[in-house]
Amino acid sequence: MNTLTKHLAVLPAAALAFAIPFAAPALAGEKSDGIVVTSQAAMEEWQAATTARINRSLKNAPIPNNSRPNDAVVQVTFTLGADGKAEDIEVLRGNGNWAARKSATYAVRRLNDLDTVPVNNADGAQFLANIFFASSMEVHKQLKADLNKTLGAQLAAADGDSEYILLGG
C-alpha cells in the first residue's frame, strides 16, 4: 500500500472526527421522562471518547482493498444493550455504498461502555450516528450541509415514542 493510499484510507475517520464534537448531544421529547443531558461538559467528553473509538474502528474495518467507501453519509441507529454495547444496529439512510455501510456498522458494533452516556435515562433511547465518508474537506462540508437540510425533518417525522441521542451531523 503506497503512502497516498494509506492517507486516503484514513479520510473517513478524519471526517468523523470533525463531525461528532459539534453534534447535538440529545433531543428531549415532550414527555417528562425524556432524555436529559446531566452535564454538557460530561456530554462533550463522552462524545470525544466515542469519536476516538469510532475513528479507531473505522481505520481497522475489514474492507477489501478493491472496495473503498464512497463519499457519503451513513446514518446508523442503535440502542443501548444491557452489556453497555450497541445493539439493534440498523442503517437508516444514505447513499453509502457497500463498503461505507459495512465500515459504519462495523465501527458502531465495536462501541462499548455506551451506558456511561451522561443522560438521566439512556434505557430505551435510540442513538443516531451520522458517519461521514469524504475524500476531501470540501466534500465533507457539502455532505454536512446536505445532511443538515434533511436531519430536522427526519427527526420530526420519527415516532413520538423514540428519543435520539445524536452523534454527528
pLDDT tens for 6-19 read 334 444 444 444 34
Question: Which of 11-20, 58-67, 133-142, 144-153 is modeled with the greatest confidence?
Answer: 133-142
Residue 118: pLDDT band with limits 50, 70, 90:
confident
The dotted CATH code for 3-167 is 3.30.1150
Angle, helices 40-59/98-109, rounded to nearest 10 degrees: 130
Pairing relation of β-strands 86-93 and 72-80?
Answer: antiparallel
CA distances, 56 to each of 38, 59, 119, 145, 154 (Å): 27, 5, 25, 25, 28
Q: Model confidence at 162, in pLDDT bands (50, 70, 90)?
A: low
Helices (H), 21-167: 40-59, 98-109, 137-157
pLDDT of residue 154: 60
In tens, the pLDDT along 28-82 reads 333 445 667 777 888 888 877 887 888 888 888 888 878 889 999 999 999 888 8
Contact call for residues 25 and 118 (beta carbons, < 8 A): no
Q: Is 128 helix (H, G, I), strand (E, B) or coil?
A: strand
Q: Is the confidence at residue 168, as pLDDT, over 90?
A: no
Residue range 143-149: mean pLDDT, rounded: 86
- Whole-number pLDDT of residue 5: 37
Q: Tell me the average pLDDT across 147-169.
A: 65
Phi-psi region of 168 (alpha: psi -120 to 50; beta: other; left: phi over 0): left
Q: How far apart are CA 95 and CA 72, in angstroms?
A: 6
The answer on pLDDT for 2 being more than 70 is no
- pLDDT on residue 98: 92
